[in-house]
Amino acid sequence: MASMNVSLPDPMRDYVQRRIDSGHYASVSDYVRDLIRRDQGETQDVERWLHDLDASIERGLADAEAGRTHDLDDACDAIIDRIRTRASAQPQ
């Protein structure tokens, strides 16, 4: 296993030591490994989200090119009409 040297300001070093003393971590190395694992997971989540977003945009563009879209004003008007119809049908 490789080793690295890290310099920390005193308040950060003290914080890490308190985490170790409280039993949350066995050592400084354990603490740093946990931080790296969390960062790797977060990075993978962001990459997955961006990939899904790109795919969604591509599907939307393909739908637009194929004419599978609706005018936003027309769609909003239809929703408002349905809300008004339901509201007027409610007993008062």
CA dist 60 and 55 (Å) reads: 9
CA dist 16 and 14 (Å) reads: 5
* Phi, psi values for residue 66, rounded to 5°: -90, 0
Domain membership flag for residue 77: yes
Domain membership flag for residue 29: yes
Q: How confident is the model at residue 2 (pLDDT cuts 50, 70, 90)?
A: very high
Percent of the chain with pLDDT over 70: 100
For the stretch 76-87, pLDDT in tens is: 999 999 999 999
> For the chain, what is the domain count?
1
The pLDDT assigned to 91 comes to 82
Q: Which residue has the tokens 């509201």?
A: 87
Residue-number span of the structural domain to which 19 is assigned: 10-89
Domain membership flag for residue 84: yes
Cα 69 → chain centroid:
28
Question: Whole-prediction pTM value?
Answer: 0.66
Domain membership flag for residue 4: no
The pLDDT assigned to 82 comes to 97
